[in-house]
Structure 1
Amino acid sequence: MIRRLYRLWPNPKLLARLWLLTAGQAVLQGLLLALLIPILDALVRPEPDIGAATPWLVLGAAGALLYAVLSVIATPVGFAAAGALAAQLRRKLMHHVSTLTLGWFTAEHKARLARGVTADVGSAAHLAVTIGGPVITSTLLPATVVIVTFTVDWRMALLLCAIALVAYLALRRAARIAEISEIELERAAAGVASRAIELGQAQPVLRAAGHAEGTPRMRAALEDHRETYREGMRRARQPFFVYTGVIMAGFVAVLALTAQLMLSGRVEAATAIVLLVLAARFLEPLGNLIELIGALRALRNQIARIEELLSTPTLPVPAEPVRRIAEADVEFSDVTFTYPGGDTPALKEVSLHCRAGTTTALVGPSGSGKTTVTRLIARFFDIDSGALRVGGVDVRELDPGTLLDEIAIVFQDVYLFDDTIEDNLRLARPEATWDELREAATAARLDEVIERLPAGWQTRVGEGGAQLSGGERQRVAIARAMLKRARIVLVDEASSALDPENEAAITRAIANLGDDPDRTVIVIAHRPATLAAADHVVSLEDGRVMETGTREELLLTGGAFSRLSSQYERARHWRIADMSG
């Protein structure tokens, strides 16, 4: 456990200092008990010899003072260690996840990360400090007492060793049960947490359906947690009582042996008193271990979950990555890609070339591979075969930071931080001037939104941008992309569910993105206006490139793009019939 904690924490010096102080206190307690031997030998006799006891009493007082000093030092070190360890480990985790492929961040993995960074790290740091010390004391103090006891009476020392062995075996069984119970309880707690988040996020839907207090799944998760906790407590009862019985039987055995030694004349009264005191200080901390074992197993499981996150394979980076992109063109050459865990390739031998300074529109039915193309450009995943080049360099040879510096992404699910509009834009370039902010907002048609908001630029957008409409969030995202001045912009037009005003504004904003001659725009297009502004159209179907060319050229071929355009035009002219007459 200690080795795993040392490997886990980036800088374990504070933890080591605390544990060394605790170990010093535990050993010192045992050594102070050893002073009872000469002190009682001098005092418990027909004619007490105060002079002989005085040096040992002085030494004991000095030891007690040293123990108090160690306690005073250890207390603030413990408080500091808990906070520092949690902060260090959280930074380590956040640095690690920043090197993972973006495709790793699924809903399940994001939930695991959130729980790991908050609950597991915080609890592990707390337990390492608050439980680590008592565990060290409860093991080192009995060990020191056994060594001291050997200097008094070897028979009692052997009895204490036998008690320790039986207690160890009983404790191992209790530890296994505690570990299983903690894992099951963590699973149940995760289920409750997931349902609780669902309860908060889906309140409008739940209230409309008459389930404001939760769904049957929520109630089932709560019941499962209660049953899991109750079952864990039931299983833990037996090993708890067995271990307690071992300690009590050990104390009875100590009393019996002491009485037998005194009655047989093998030890004096003073020695018998020393043996009883030593046995009591041996059994008391040993008995405390059963109270600590559940927390120890919880700590072990938390460490395992954190280690699992830290062992997630990072994005492969070459020893000497390319750190500069000459041109912002994007080229796929016979690219095949299958999502992790999938059976059917999402892209099959795809070849396309998006020239620098142009706008390329990706079209095709749902599931044709449009979004996959944009994800691979941003290196959410690595391709299975073929080559994907940006600026003539395979993306796997590029430094990940260099690649992402050159890319801005505007997807359907725009996420904004619960901050002001200004600060959400400055994420792209914190040092941007006000003129640059206003220029980006104007080009993205965000200025119209800012003008009608009471607090203007200082309007807080809410968690995830909830205070803005979908179209307004997309305008913020487009403005952020423009402010970043990335040479490659990936956009999902996502205008199908927008009102006409937002649809027109976003279409114009996407067109403005392509006005920069140094910027390459790749847009998943749905609207004719966006297609009309594109220099190049790529039609995809079932993970394959079916057609490429300009919009006008593809309309004349009668192929997949022409059919999609005809379907859209027919749908655009649909009208609901008036049945009133």
Structure 2
Amino acid sequence: MIRRLYRLWPNPRLLARLWLLTAAQAVLQGLMLALLVPVLDAVVRPEPDLAAATPWLVVGACGAAMYAVLSIIATPVGFAAAGALAAQLRRRLMRHVSTLTLGWFTAEHKARLARGVTADVGNAAHLAVTIGGPVITSTLLPATVVAVTFAVDWRMALLLCVIALVAYAALRRAARIAEIAEIELERAATGVASRAIELGQAQPVLRAAGHADGTPRMRAALEDHRETYRDGMRRARQPFFVYTGVIMGGFVAVLALAAQLMLTGRVGVAEAIALLVLAARFLEPLGNLIDLIGALRALRNQIVRIEELLATPTLPVPAEPVRGIETAEVEFSHVDFTYPGGDSPALRDVSLRCRPGTTTALVGPSGSGKTTVTRLIARFFDIDAGQVRVGGTEVRELDPGVLLDEIAIVFQDVYLFDDTIENNLRLAHPEATWDELREVAAAARLDEVIERLPEGWHTRVGEAGAQLSGGERQRVAIARAMLKRARIVLVDEASSALDPENEAAITQAISNLGDDPARTVIVIAHRPATLATADHVVSLDGGRVVEAGTPAKLLRTGGTFARLSRQYERSRHWRIVSTAP
């Protein structure tokens, strides 16, 4: 356990200092108990010899003073260690997470990461300090007492060793049960956390459906957590009582042996009293271990979960990655790709080319592979076969930071931080001037939104941009992409489900993105207005490219693109007609 903690924390010096101080206190306690023999031998006499006891009492006083000094030093070290260890480990986790493939961040993994960064790291740091000390004391103090007891009477020392071995066997069984119970409880707690996040994020939908107080899945998760906790407590009872019985039985055996040794004259009264005190100080910390074992196993499981996060494979990077690209050309060459855990390929033998200065529209039915294409360009995942090249270089040969610097992404579900519009844009370019901010706002048609807002650029957008409409959030995202000055812009169905005014604004903003002759724009779109701004169209179906060409050419061929265009054109004229009398 100690080795794992040392490997886990980037800088474990504070932890080592605390544990060394605790170990010194435990050993000092045991050694001070050895003073009982000469002191009692001098006092428990028909005529007490205080002169003989005085040197030992002075030594004991010095030991007590040293113990007090160690306690004074250890207390602030413990407080500092808990906070410092948590901060160090969180920074290490966040650095590691930033190197993972973006495709790793599924809903399940994000929930696991949230629990790891908050609960596991915080609890591990806290338990390493608050539980580590008592565990060290509860093991080193009995060991020191046994060593001291051997100097007084070897028979009592052997009995203490037997008690320790039997207690160890009972403790191991209790530890196994505690570990399994903690793992199951953490699984249930993660389920509750996921459902709680869902409850908070989906409040508008839940209230509309009449489930504002919780979904059936939430209630099932809470019930599962309650049953898991009860089951764990039920299983832990038997080993707890067994271990307690071993300690109590050991105390009875100590009393019997001490009485037998004294009655047979093998030890004197002073030695018998000292042996009883030593045995009591041996059994007391040993008995505390059953109360610590649950927390100790929880600490072990938390360490395992953190280690699993840190062991998540990062993006493979070559020893000497390419640190720059010449152009913004994007090319797929016979690409095959299946999502991790997927049953069928998402892309099959896909080849396409998007040249700088052009806007390429990806079209096709749901599940045809459009979003997958954009994810592979940004290297959210690595492909199974073929090549994805950016600027003529295979993306796996590029430095990941360089690749993402060249790419700006406008997601379908735009996420904005609970900050001002200005600061949400400055994420892309913190040093941007006000002229640059106003320029991209005008190009993205965001300036119209800013003029309407009460505090203009300094208006806070709320959590995830909740204070803005969907179309307004899209404009912020497009302005942010423009401000980044990335040479490759990926737009994922930005105009879907928007009102006509916002659709027109977003369409114009996408068109403005393509004005830069050095920039490559790839947009997933179905709306005719958006498709009209494209220079090139790639139609996908079933993970394959079924046709590619200019919009005019594909309309004449009567293929997939022409069929989708006719469907959307007809849908524009649909009207809801009331049939009520």
Question: Hey, what does 2:77 align to over in structure 1?
Answer: 77
Q: Which amino acid aligns with 1:175?
A: A
Say whether the 8 Å CA contact 2:86–2:125 is kept in structure 1.
yes
Q: Which amino acid aligns with 2:175?
A: A
Residue 331 of structure 2 aligns to a residue whose secondary structure is strand
Say whether the 8 Å CA contact 2:418–2:463 is kept in structure 1.
yes
Question: Hey, what does 1:130 align to over in structure 2?
Answer: 130
Question: Hey, what does 2:398 align to over in structure 1?
Answer: 398
Cα deviation code 1:284-307 (max 9, x no counterpart)? 000000110111111111111111
Question: Hey, what does 2:297 align to over in structure 1?
Answer: 297
Residue 349 of structure 2 aligns to a residue whose secondary structure is strand
Question: Hey, what does 1:140 align to over in structure 2?
Answer: 140
Q: Separation in 1 of the partners of 2:362 and 2:416?
A: 25
* Superposition deviation, residue 577 in structure 1: 4.3
Say whether the 8 Å CA contact 1:101–1:379 is kept in structure 2.
yes
Question: Hey, what does 1:114 align to over in structure 2?
Answer: 114
Q: Separation in 1 of the partners of 2:355 and 2:285?
A: 73
* Superposition deviation, residue 411 in structure 1: 1.3
Cα deviation code 1:341-361 (max 9, x no counterpart)? 112111111111111222111
Whether 1:226 aligns to 2:223 is no
* Superposition deviation, residue 580 in structure 1: 6.2
Q: Separation in 2 of the partners of 1:214 and 1:392?
A: 52
Q: Separation in 2 of the partners of 1:529 and 1:247?
A: 80
Q: Separation in 1 of the partners of 2:575 and 2:154?
A: 100
Question: Hey, what does 1:152 align to over in structure 2?
Answer: 152
Residue 248 of structure 1 aligns to a residue whose secondary structure is helix
Q: Separation in 2 of the partners of 1:414 and 1:254?
A: 71
Question: Hey, what does 1:212 align to over in structure 2?
Answer: 212
Counterparts of residues 564-575 of structure 1 (less than 5 Å): 564-575=564-575
* Superposition deviation, residue 109 in structure 1: 0.6
Question: Hey, what does 1:338 align to over in structure 2?
Answer: 338
Question: Hey, what does 2:534 align to over in structure 1?
Answer: 534
Q: Separation in 2 of the partners of 1:242 and 1:331?
A: 68
Q: Separation in 2 of the partners of 1:560 and 1:221?
A: 45
Q: Separation in 1 of the partners of 2:226 and 2:144?
A: 42
Say whether the 8 Å CA contact 2:528–2:569 is kept in structure 1.
no
Residue 529 of structure 2 aligns to a residue whose secondary structure is helix
Question: Hey, what does 1:43 align to over in structure 2?
Answer: 43
Whether 1:163 aligns to 2:163 is yes
Q: Separation in 1 of the partners of 2:490 and 2:553?
A: 24
Question: Hey, what does 1:238 align to over in structure 2?
Answer: 238
* Superposition deviation, residue 579 in structure 1: 4.2
Residue 352 of structure 2 aligns to a residue whose secondary structure is strand
* Superposition deviation, residue 568 in structure 1: 1.6
Q: Separation in 1 of the partners of 2:123 and 2:580?
A: 66
Q: Separation in 2 of the partners of 1:369 and 1:573?
A: 28
Residue 332 of structure 1 aligns to a residue whose secondary structure is strand
Cα deviation code 1:466-488 (max 9, x no counterpart)? 11111111101000001110111
* Superposition deviation, residue 216 in structure 1: 2.9
Q: Which amino acid aligns with 1:540?
A: L
* Superposition deviation, residue 214 in structure 1: 2.1
Q: 1:576 to 1:49 in 2, by over 3 A?
A: closer
Residue 112 of structure 1 aligns to a residue whose secondary structure is helix
* Superposition deviation, residue 362 in structure 1: 1.1
Q: Separation in 2 of the partners of 1:561 and 1:220?
A: 45
Question: Hey, what does 1:368 align to over in structure 2?
Answer: 368
Residue 4 of structure 1 aligns to a residue whose secondary structure is helix
Q: 1:136 to 1:263 in 2, by over 3 A?
A: same
* Superposition deviation, residue 202 in structure 1: 2.9
Whether 1:266 aligns to 2:271 is no
Q: Which amino acid aligns with 1:57?
A: L
Cα deviation code 1:392-411 (max 9, x no counterpart)? 11100000000000000001
Cα deviation code 1:86-113 (max 9, x no counterpart)? 1111111111111111100011110110
Residue 345 of structure 2 aligns to a residue whose secondary structure is coil
Q: Separation in 1 of the partners of 2:234 and 2:382?
A: 49
Whether 1:91 aligns to 2:91 is yes
Cα deviation code 1:522-551 (max 9, x no counterpart)? 111222232222222111111111122111
Counterparts of residues 17-36 of structure 1 (less than 5 Å): 17-36=17-36
Residue 69 of structure 2 aligns to a residue whose secondary structure is helix
Q: Which amino acid aligns with 2:186?
A: E
Cα deviation code 1:413-447 (max 9, x no counterpart)? 11111111111111111111111111111111111
* Superposition deviation, residue 578 in structure 1: 6.0
Is the deviation greater in 561-570 or in 448-457?
A: 561-570
Whether 1:282 aligns to 2:264 is no
Q: Separation in 1 of the partners of 2:168 and 2:579?
A: 84
Q: Which amino acid aligns with 2:456?
A: G
Question: Hey, what does 2:483 align to over in structure 1?
Answer: 483
Say whether the 8 Å CA contact 1:494–1:526 is kept in structure 2.
no
Structure 2: gaps of 5 or more residues: none
Q: 1:547 to 1:205 in 2, by over 3 A?
A: closer
* Superposition deviation, residue 559 in structure 1: 1.6
Question: Hey, what does 1:448 align to over in structure 2?
Answer: 448
Q: 1:367 to 1:267 in 2, by over 3 A?
A: same
Question: Considering only aligned residues, what root-mean-square deviation do their CA atoms show, in Å?
Answer: 1.3
TM-score, normalisation: structure 2: 0.98
Question: Hey, what does 1:2 align to over in structure 2?
Answer: 2
TM-score, normalisation: structure 1: 0.98
Q: 1:128 to 1:580 in 2, by over 3 A?
A: closer
Say whether the 8 Å CA contact 2:111–2:193 is kept in structure 1.
no
Counterparts of residues 378-397 of structure 1 (less than 5 Å): 378-397=378-397
Q: Separation in 1 of the partners of 2:139 and 2:340?
A: 47
Is the deviation greater in 501-510 or in 39-48?
A: 39-48
* Superposition deviation, residue 235 in structure 1: 1.4
Q: Which amino acid aligns with 2:185?
A: L
Residue 349 of structure 1 aligns to a residue whose secondary structure is strand
Q: Separation in 2 of the partners of 1:488 and 1:411?
A: 14
Q: Separation in 1 of the partners of 2:575 and 2:207?
A: 33
Q: Separation in 1 of the partners of 2:264 and 2:91?
A: 65
Whether 1:322 aligns to 2:322 is yes
Residue 429 of structure 2 aligns to a residue whose secondary structure is coil
Question: Hey, what does 2:519 align to over in structure 1?
Answer: 519
* Superposition deviation, residue 226 in structure 1: 1.9
Q: Which amino acid aligns with 1:314?
A: T
Q: Separation in 1 of the partners of 2:323 and 2:215?
A: 51
Identity of aligned residues (%): 86
Q: 1:493 to 1:323 in 2, by over 3 A?
A: same
Q: Which amino acid aligns with 1:103?
A: G
Say whether the 8 Å CA contact 1:333–1:350 is kept in structure 2.
yes
Q: Which amino acid aligns with 2:570?
A: R
Question: Hey, what does 1:547 align to over in structure 2?
Answer: 547
Residue 53 of structure 1 aligns to a residue whose secondary structure is helix
Runs of 4+ aligned structure 1 residues displaced above 6 Å come to none
Q: Which amino acid aligns with 1:368?
A: S
* Superposition deviation, residue 115 in structure 1: 0.7
Q: Separation in 1 of the partners of 2:107 and 2:210?
A: 27
Q: Separation in 2 of the partners of 1:514 and 1:210?
A: 45
Residue 331 of structure 1 aligns to a residue whose secondary structure is strand
Q: Separation in 1 of the partners of 2:558 and 2:202?
A: 45
* Superposition deviation, residue 220 in structure 1: 2.5
Q: Which amino acid aligns with 2:93?
A: L
Say whether the 8 Å CA contact 1:412–1:492 is kept in structure 2.
yes
Cα deviation code 1:222-281 (max 9, x no counterpart)? 222222222211211111111111111111111111111111011111111111111111
Q: 1:299 to 1:509 in 2, by over 3 A?
A: same
Is the deviation greater in 569-578 or in 514-523?
A: 569-578
Say whether the 8 Å CA contact 1:36–1:274 is kept in structure 2.
yes
Residue 547 of structure 2 aligns to a residue whose secondary structure is strand
Residue 184 of structure 2 aligns to a residue whose secondary structure is helix
* Superposition deviation, residue 46 in structure 1: 2.8
Counterparts of residues 463-478 of structure 1 (less than 5 Å): 463-478=463-478
Q: Separation in 1 of the partners of 2:191 and 2:376?
A: 33
Is the deviation greater in 183-192 or in 114-123?
A: 183-192
Q: Which amino acid aligns with 1:571?
A: S
Question: Hey, what does 1:412 align to over in structure 2?
Answer: 412
